[in-house]
């Protein structure tokens, strides 16, 4: 299966026209029962999931965003769909860059990884939430998940499929981060995606880190990114960009390793879109406010024209401290976390510790207070 050689330059993407990342939650079925599951995953597939034909129409539409559109097939566990390889092949044939976030279960065998690689998968993203089998398996609720994930990671490298490691940051996992960083390097991953917990789905039962601790972790991540062999990105913590810019301003040594200060942030609805297992169009999987359904409307039109998506791309509409912050155009705060705590996706992100100099209003609702 031929793969498009390169994607569009992320710094050149006009995020008012197309998402940098389009996630399709192909199913909510999953054999794991992770503590933090956004999808509230269940063992069985939903009877109203998008069908294979509907999925192919969705991939046709994704192609209309522009050449080399990045599509992430997520879940649940995408491997719960028997047509997964067919969908990967179809998307690849349309010129899409197809990537996958499978769960660390026994179905993720080296043979499966090999066949997904042959189908054209561009990247495999695996979750590791602890630096040891005990820590990871306890978080994931399944003995053996760590070993299966590491085995799949090695299989990805052997199949020539670039590897991404996803990690959830919350009070229960924060101490594991240095050990996970070492593992990411050992597994020869190309990217570490560090997700800061948003309290949706089963994630509501976990404790977020405090804004102070988040600040320390983000600062540490900028150091990791400067030294590591892999890239570092955050999910639902766009103030990583603000921290990196402040660090660079304070140091003549800190390199602009990935152009983080030149690029606008990617947040829910602004460079990011999500289609649920039943076809709802959300700004993010962590911001389950629908702008319509792919069964009834055009994904491209909804992304570009819906009031919801347009408002999320206009930081001047944000309220509270995010609305006056001088970093709002490069950061903007997690719209998903604001929505989870207030029901208003334009409110301020309670995880951010920064207070703009001219701001004297209330702190955002939902700030965690204990480590
Ligand atoms: S106040 Fe809001 S926009 Fe400013 S850095 Fe914090 S999260 Fe970002």
Task: Output the pTM of the full model.
Answer: 0.91
Question: What's the gap in Å between 329 CA and the centre of ligand 1?
Answer: 9
Per residue in 219-247, pLDDT (tens digit) is: 999 999 999 999 999 999 999 999 999 98
pLDDT above 90 for 254: no
3-state secondary structure of 275: strand
Structure tokens at 354: 């920064």
Enumerate residues 6+ apart whose C-beta is below 8 A from 327: 239, 241, 242, 245, 354
- pLDDT of amino acid 308: 98
| Residue 360: band (very low, low, confident or very high) from pLDDT cuts 50, 70, 90 | very high
Q: Which atom of ligand 1 is nearest to the CA of 325?
A: 4
| Residue 342: band (very low, low, confident or very high) from pLDDT cuts 50, 70, 90 | very high
Beta carbons of 327 and 359 less than 8 angstroms apart: no
Structure tokens at 28: 């909510």
CA-to-CA separations, 348 to 267, 291, 351, 362, in angstroms, rounded:
13, 21, 9, 10
| Residue 370: band (very low, low, confident or very high) from pLDDT cuts 50, 70, 90 | low
CATH class entry, domain 17-306: alpha beta
Per residue in 154-184, pLDDT (tens digit) is: 999 999 999 999 999 999 999 999 999 999 9
Q: Which atom of ligand 1 is nearest to the CA of 353?
A: 6
In percent, how much of the chain has pLDDT > 70?
A: 89
pLDDT above 70 for 351: yes
Residue 327 Cβ contacting ligand 1 at under 6 Å: yes
pLDDT above 80 for 85: yes
Nearest CA to ligand 1 atom 7: 333
- pLDDT of amino acid 371: 46
Residue 349 Cβ contacting ligand 1 at under 6 Å: yes
Phi-psi region of 366 (alpha: psi -120 to 50; beta: other; left: phi over 0): left
If one residue of 219, 241, 242, 320 were mutated to test the ligand 1 pocket, choosing by the most ligand atoms within 8 A of its CB, it would be: 242
- pLDDT of amino acid 249: 84
Nearest CA to ligand 1 atom 5: 239
Q: What is the mean pLDDT of the chain?
A: 90
Residue 215 Cβ contacting ligand 1 at under 6 Å: no
More confident position, 203 or 168: 168
- pLDDT of amino acid 4: 45
Beta carbons of 271 and 309 less than 8 angstroms apart: no
- pLDDT of amino acid 289: 96
Residue 241 Cβ contacting ligand 1 at under 6 Å: no
- pLDDT of amino acid 250: 79
pLDDT above 50 for 2: no
pLDDT above 90 for 324: yes
Distance CA 26, CA 81 (A): 8
Residue 354 Cβ contacting ligand 1 at under 6 Å: yes
If one residue of 234, 333, 341 were mutated to test the ligand 1 pocket, choosing by the most ligand atoms within 8 A of its CB, it would be: 333
Bond before 43 cis per omega within 30 degrees = no
3-state secondary structure of 10: helix
pLDDT above 60 for 262: no
Distance of CA 120 to the CA centre of its chain: 21
pLDDT above 50 for 55: yes
Residue 84 Cβ contacting ligand 1 at under 6 Å: no
Q: Where are the domains of the chain?
A: 17-306
């Amino acid at each position: 299966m031929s793969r498009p050689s390169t994607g569009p330059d992320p710094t050149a993407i006009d995020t008012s026209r197309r998402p940098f990342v389009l996630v399709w939650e192909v199913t909510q079925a999953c054999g794991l029962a992770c503590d933090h599951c956004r999808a509230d995953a269940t063992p069985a597939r939903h009877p109203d999931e998008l069908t294979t034909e509907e999925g192919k129409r969705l991939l046709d539409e994704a192609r209309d965003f522009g050449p080399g559109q990045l599509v992430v097939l997520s879940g649940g566990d995408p491997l719960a769909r028997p047509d997964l390889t067919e969908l990967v092949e179809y998307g690849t044939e349309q010129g899409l860059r197809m990537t996958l976030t499978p769960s660390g279960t026994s179905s993720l065998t080296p043979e499966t990884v090999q066949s997904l690689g042959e189908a054209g998968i561009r990247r495999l993203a695996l979750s590791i939430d602890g630096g040891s089998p005990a820590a990871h398996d306890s978080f994931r609720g399944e003995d053996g998940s760590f070993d299966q994930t590491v085995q799949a990671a090695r299989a990805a490298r052997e199949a020539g499929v670039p590897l991404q490691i996803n990690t959830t940051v919350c009070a229960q996992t924060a101490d594991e981060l240095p050990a996970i960083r070492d593992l990411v390097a050992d597994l020869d991953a190309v990217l570490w995606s560090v997700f800061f917990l948003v309290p949706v789905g089963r994630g509501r039962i976990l404790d977020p880190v405090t804004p102070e601790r988040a600040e320390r972790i983000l600062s540490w991540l900028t150091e990791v990114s400067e030294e590591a062999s892999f890239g570092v990105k955050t999910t639902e913590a766009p103030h990583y960009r603000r921290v990196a810019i402040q660090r660079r301003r304070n140091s003549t040594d800190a390199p602009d390793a990935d152009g983080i200060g030149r690029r606008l942030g990617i947040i829910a609805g602004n460079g990011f879109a999500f289609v649920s297992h039943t076809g709802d169009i959300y700004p993010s999987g962590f911001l389950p406010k629908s702008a319509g359904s792919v069964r009834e409307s055009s994904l491209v039109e909804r992304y570009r024209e819906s009031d919801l998506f347009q408002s999320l791309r206009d930081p001047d509409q944000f309220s509270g401290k995010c609305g006056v912050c001088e970093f709002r155009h490069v950061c903007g705060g997690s719209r998903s976390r604001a929505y989870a705590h207030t029901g208003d996706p334009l409110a301020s992100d309670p995880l951010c510790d920064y207070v703009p100099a001219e701001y004297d209003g209330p702190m955002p609702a939902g700030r965690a207070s204990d480590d």
